[in-house]
Structure 1
Amino acid sequence: MADRQDEQGLNGPEEYAGSANEIGVRPDVNLLETFLENVRKGQLRVPKFQRPFVWRPDQMLDLFDSIERGYPIGSMLLWETPAALESLEHVGGLAIPDVPPGQSATYILDGHQRLSTLYASLYRPAASDPIDSTDWIWHIYRALGQRDSRANRYVHWKHPSAPPPHYLPIRSVLRTLDFLAYARNLAKTMGDDPFYDELIEEAEQVAQRIKSYKVSVVTLLGGNLAQAVEVFSRVNSKGQSMSPDQMVSALTYKGSGEESLANSIAAILDRVAAEGFGEINSTTGFRALLAVAGEEEVTGARWDVLARRMEGKVSQAVQDTDVALSRAVAFLRDDLGVPLARLIPYNNQLMLLTLFFHLRPEPSAEQVEVLTRWFWITAWSGRFASVNSTTSRQSIQDMRAFADGKKSLPEFAGTQGMFDFADQRARPYPDRFDLRSARVRAYLLWELTEFPLRTTPGGRQYSAVEAIRRLDSAAFRRISNKTGLPNGSNPANRLVLEVNPGLTARSYLHDLRHSPSGLGDLGIPDMAFDLLAAGDDERFIDLRAAELARRERRFIESVGAIVPRTYTGEAEIDTE
């Protein structure tokens, strides 16, 4: 530890926390029911610095499936301490009582998502029905009689009507009276069914497996918050260690009713998403906030040291980031034609734009022009494909100097920095459609600008962006579904369309070409369409790809970028 402190020039977490108390560790194995009873009694709590519940419905169902099969679900990391941390008053909408008088609380550090899923689903009272639009996610059922198919053993029930009688409500498995009530209801509806006894036996087995499931628990004893977070940062749960924003959030959380750093960032990103720009990941928001707060090391810092530097600056940094991020999003959307967060080629571009608009809320026309070139050229060239702490720090320094007016564009030339456009050549048109590739996302941004509208065979126009916003990746429809095509994965074989059951993209093009509105301009030369109509799908894709690459190349030249040497290239997977 001394070597690390000397390298950083700052003290480690023990001194940061102002305590020399050592932290103890107690491994244990608890019955699931016993573990959750501690939540019901108010003894096991979720600290407010934890990020909100973010699990997807399928993750919740997989958790119960793993428990029934006896698979490990990862250790729960707890912290038992006399320190009174502010904690959540509700878990999954269920009220949690106060800590019993004279007892110390135990806080969950790693396992919040699992604990919330289990507690809010298993302890949900039957009186919470009927399901409303907000709490359906906690109503999980085990479909009996489904053999051993993982895909349909556990399900959510979203409908206002009652679920089928063979759907065992998970909330009944820990409560004997509720389980008996379910069994009686099942007897009323299908008691004469020859499979009734089998269903009841299966339900009993499910309940027994869940009740007898044992949870691995590691409890940290004593110590201070910095020490607990240090342990947390080194523990992996299903391959995911504690994220930097969680660590700094915990170490800077002061309670007194204020939001934690992680929750404040989540609130900013939720607002941006609600305004139609879509979801920005929390790591990007965290890095943007650090840059706005004056930090240059945003990718690999000593998070305990960073937390100490951030003390007293969190509240203002949150406010500044909220304003600056809004300006950055407006620039992306209105000036660059980037309609959705998921289409930004690199998250670092958004982080750096947020920093710029914090420092320069009203940029000059020249700065806007340079930023436009910078965005496209770094997107095409793969400038941020392999960012490390050194290149990230240099990019932040470059953007600060540019925003402050300390350097103009000519002064950046030859510096090997991110504004050295002469050293950045656009990568070629991608040969494979894969949204994990920044080059593919850059291509899609150009395509949406080049062909913004779609027309139904009936003549109704709609926005391609709106189709993506509603349908996500399902909007990118394959034109040819022939197997074995060597170029079948090329972007030229994709078309953004609304989903119309029974109407393939190929049929859509055929119907549209013969409709009064006509095919319009979708980057499909007449000769290419003739090839498609004749069944020569491979040559159709090649011809359309050549047309799209030619048009995109023209746009690349208009921005002043160096065009690629070759016609096509590999769509490198380079999402940060």
Structure 2
Amino acid sequence: MVKDISVVPEVHFLEQVLERIAQGELRVPKFQRPFLWRPEQMLQLFDSMERGYPMGSLLIWETTMPLESLDTIGGRRIPPAPEGAKVAYVLDGHQRLSTLFGVLHRSADAPRSARQEDWMWWVYRPLVRSEHDGVRYRHWKSGEPAPSHFLPMRSVLGTLDFLEYARTLSDVSHSREEADRLTKESERIAKRVKNYKVSVVRMEGGTLQQAIEVFSRINSSGQKMRPDQMVSALTYGTIGSETLSDKMEEIKGRIAASGFGEIPIMTIFQTVLALSGEEDVQRDTSWETMARKVQGQLMTAVEDTDLILQQVVEFLRQEVQVPLARLVPYNIQIMLLAVFFHFSDKVEAEQRVKLRHWFWTTSLAGTFAGSTTTQVRNFITEMKAFARGEGGLSYSAERARSFPERFDLRSARVRAYLLWDLQTFPDRKNLDGGTANVLEQLATAHSETYRHVITQSGVPGASSPANRIVMTTPPGVSIRQALIRLAEDGRTDILDSHGVSLASIEHLKSDEFTEFILVRQQELAARERQFIESLGIKSADKEVGEADIDTE
């Protein structure tokens, strides 16, 4: 018989709580989200402690039930849980305890470098008042030793470490008075930390599911967990020793390693939900209810998602010519394509043609901009019916949005333009005639790949895609100079590979910058419109329009 959960409020010295972590008796369960605090949040915690402010209660669950937990906390390895003993698991307070343990129990030989994963755990308290204002604590972002009057917080709980630091102060101080003053200040701070008391709410008994539900309800406020992390926690233990988040990270890594780049975790999560039979994939409330609904199908859905997303990537690459995940106009398109391939017994050639048409139409028309939960549910229902041969896709009446007047990759219309641009000009050449590897540059530099032709500020139309070129030039040679030189040398083959006409360059030669952009914009918009109409998609009434920043 399972004993009901009982709650016992207690007060402990912080030093005692951290020592339990060091002994492996107080642990962080794997269903917890990872360490997310920013460095400034870590400093604020220490500043609040010195000022005597409460840091909030910790909630722990004591049980003899074996539970998968982290073997590192705050960047430090901890020993395994004592065999057969009752172990406490942190349900609320992971970020705070990780910060305190990682800093105060830092070993003297722990890595020091300019990398954040190293310096974030080295927290110091400058002892000279002029060294701080506001938050009194500092990170030392270097592999070099910190100034001698910076008290390393790792030394305040260890008597020998603290005495060694005090001796250092005596050695480097200019006078006995200065050494005494700095030593007293360091002793005051150390005493603050050693005497700091923490409110601990200890739960005993109950089931793992009850403990997880307590955890999820606590995390519904404050620094919220992502929906995928919440459902991962609520379904912990239902799909093996790895959590749902672990498995989704594996899928994300596998797709990225294929060269397609990273698909957002939320897109993978929504795909898992959709393939498990859930259609409210964007709902942001009642995660406990959703978790209970889908947990029986999760293992199968995760495995299906792994396989189906590979088919989606192949379809996007081969049949739509989308080379990188970051160029997909709407992430919901990835999820809906996964729904199609999952629920279709046999994919007909005609369906593939319609899917390609659907992708381009919805991308150019902004179909999914600001989609509501109800609309997304309807999209999923429609895609399932289409996959089963029971209906069509209602997008044929959509009209493409205008050629974007601004180059902003947050706009789905701009990403659709780039997909057309990459297909239309696949063999761009640099000034020396060598091939420009656009995809390699896009995979790393993103928007910086498309360089400005006109760089002067205040030029009307300078933000247009028509003012962007993918070309590498020698030091000291601008894109504008390179284009003029190519025209003068008669290298129309290189100019054509970028869609730059001799007519537009005549304006460059005369420093008519706005006219150059306008002419090239008209030429690109006309070519893109031909492509749009060749697909049977209605073109926009207006040639050039605002590039909306889309949200899904």
TM-score range, shorter chain: 0.7 to 0.9
Q: CA deviation at 1:114?
A: 5.9
The residue number in structure 2 matching 1:549 is 525
Matches within 5 A, 1:197-236: 211=193, 219=201, 221=203, 225-226=208-209, 229-230=212-213, 232-233=215-216
Unaligned runs of 5+ in 1: 1-17, 413-418
1:469 deviation in Å? 0.9
Query: Which residue in the other structure is 2:77 paired with?
Result: 95
Q: Secondary structure at the match of 2:367?
A: coil
1:374, CA displacement in angstroms?
A: 0.7
* 284, 289, 295: which one aligns with 2:267: 284
Residue in structure 1 matched with residue 258 of structure 2 by the alignment: 275
> What does residue 416 of structure 1 align with?
none
| Deviation per residue, 1:366-421 (Å, 9 max, x gap) | 111111011111112222112223222221121111112223xxxx3xxxxxx223
Local SS of the residue matching 2:537: coil
- Mapped contact 1:49–1:260 kept (Cα < 8 A): yes
Question: When the two structures are superposed, what TM-score results if normalisation uses the length of structure 2?
Answer: 0.79
For 1:467 and 1:40, locate their aligned partners in 2 and report how far apart those are by CA, in whole Å. Answer: 46
Does structure 1 conserve the Cα–Cα contact (< 8 Å) formed by 2:453 and 2:469? yes
Pick closer, same or farther for the CA change 1:526–1:258 going to 2, 3 Å: same
Contact map agreement 2:119 2:140 (CA 8 A) in 1: no
The alignment's TM-score, normalised by the length of structure 1, stands at 0.76
Question: Does 2:216 match 1:241?
Answer: no
Aligned CA distance change for structure 1 residues 502 and 267 (closer, same or farther; 3 Å): farther
Moved more, 550-559 or 110-119: 110-119
Deviates more, 1:528-537 or 1:311-320: 528-537
Name the count of aligned residue pairs. 536
The equivalences for 1:50-449 within 5 A come to: 50-52=32-34, 55=36, 60-67=38-45, 70=48, 78-82=59-63, 84=65, 85-91=67-73, 94-99=76-81, 104-109=86-91, 112=94, 115-116=97-98, 119-120=101-102, 123-129=105-111, 136=118, 140=122, 154=139, 156-157=141-142, 162-163=143-144, 166=147, 211=193, 219=201, 221=203, 225-226=208-209, 229-230=212-213, 232-233=215-216, 240-254=223-237, 258-300=241-283, 302-360=286-344, 363-407=347-391, 412=392, 419-449=393-423
Alpha-carbon separation, structure 2, partners of 1:502 and 1:62: 41
Q: Percent identity?
A: 41
Offset at residue 146 of structure 1 (A)? 8.5
Instruction: Tell me, yes or no, if the aligned pair for 2:473 and 2:482 is still in contact at 8 Å.
Output: no
Aligned AA (1:82): T
SS in 1 for 2:436: strand
Deviation at 1:46, TM superposition (A): 1.8
Root-mean-square deviation (CA), in Å? 4.6
**1:86-145 residue CA offsets vs partner (Å, 9 max, x unmatched):** 211223553223445787544344564565455445534233448799965766576989
Aligned to 1:4: none
Q: Is the 8 A contact 1:61 1:155 kept in 2?
A: no
Contact 1:249 1:260 in 2 (8 A): yes
Letter paired with 2:457: T
Select the residue among 457, 467, 470 that pairs with 2:431: 457
Partner secondary structure for residue 530 of structure 2: helix
Q: Quick check: which has more Rg, 1 or 2?
A: 2
Distance change (3 Å), C-alpha of 1:468 and 1:520: same
The residue identity in structure 1 corresponding to 2:28 is V
> Are the structure 2 counterparts of residues 179 and 446 from structure 1 closer, same or farther at C-alpha, using a change threshold of 3 Å?
farther
Residues 416-441 of structure 1: CA deviation (Å, up to 9, x unaligned) = xxx22332111112222322222222
User: In the aligned structure 1, how far is the partner of 2:509 from the partner of 2:168?
Assistant: 59
Q: Which amino acid aligns with 2:79?
A: P
- Residue-by-residue CA offset, 1:245-286 (whole Å, 9 max, x unaligned): 222222222279621112111111121122222222222111
Residues 29/239 of structure 1: CA separation in 2 closer, same or farther (3 Å cut) = same
